[in-house]
Amino acid sequence: MAPAQMHDGQVATSTDLVRRLLSTQLPHLADLPVRPVEESGTDHALYRLGLDLVVRLPIIDWAAEQAESDQRWLPVLAPQVNLAIPVPVAVGRPGDGYPWPWSVVPWIGGTTPDGTNLDLASAATDLAQFVRSLHAVPGEGGPVKSGTARGVPVHRLDAGVRPLIEELRGEIDASAVTRVWDEAMAAARWDSPLVWIHGDIAPGNLIVRDRRLVAVIDFGGLGLGDPAPDLAPAWNLLDDRSRAIFRADVGYDDAAWARAGDRSPDALRWLYQHDPAALDPASI
């Protein structure tokens, strides 16, 4: 069994491929049982390796550098944050017909938030601490966000976002989205040193156990940029009460919240579903 096809140009993976890669590159792990994870990510195929590990194989070219980024930076960040993050225990190289670096990381047991299994007030406090701690880690030498990735100066995205809004007029509340976008454009720009951002703190990248957050996973959006994208849990996870806790605890000013779209969570949810990274860079 292999993960489902999600992208044109996706690289095929299988349990047999994982076994071959392990046998030739990490033979000390090759005797462990391998089985696919049914809910793999959008850009990685995941395979459980024994009870305590998971193999992550990029399946599309834009994720090809994540294994080496994780290997370089997650050991630096992990001691500084309050929630577990998946620091690689090994990184493999291309081979056996597979084209990119891949990784073996700890399996962090639990589930993703589903609306019923998480205490939102405690989650707001824990996520605010995670964001503050991550953003406080010195960024010297880290990769700077570029192009249309989350964390670049938001005004760079204006020429690409407005046509998207008009394209979906009638399917979305275009007036609400435009109003939020206008406020983001008018907000003061981030003029302090760039900070480490996760870039995709969303329910699918959070692990819950016993109604508490225990981990943040998938650092494919990691880099140095404007902190505003990491305020996303305010609208993609939290309710009114816990959102207020998160906002008070995380500590950013009104301009950061305007760039993050705090005035209308539903409108910004649309903007983040239509990832600026998918915009035509030539139009930015």
Mean pLDDT by 10 residues, the chain (284 residues): 62 96 98 90 92 96 95 98 98 97 97 95 98 97 92 90 87 85 91 96 95 97 95 91 95 92 55 46 28
pLDDT value for 280:
34
pLDDT value for 6:
61
The pair phi, psi for residue 138, each rounded to 5°, is -55, 135
Q: How does pLDDT run across 138-192, given as a tens digit for each residue?
A: 999 999 999 988 899 989 988 888 998 898 888 888 888 888 889 889 999 999 9
Write down the domain spans for the chain.
15-106, 120-283
H helical segments located in the chain: 15-25, 66-77, 120-136, 158-167, 174-186, 233-236, 240-250, 254-260, 265-273
CA angle 23, 76, 68 (to 5 degrees): 40
pLDDT value for 278:
40
Classify strands 102-106 and 195-197 as parallel, antiparallel or unpaired.
Answer: unpaired
Q: Is 15-106 a domain of CATH 1.10.3720.10?
A: no
Three-class DSSP category at 18? helix
Q: In whole angstroms, give the CA distance from residue 13 to residue 19.
A: 11
pLDDT value for 42:
81
Q: Which numeric CATH code is attached to 120-283?
A: 3.90.1200.10
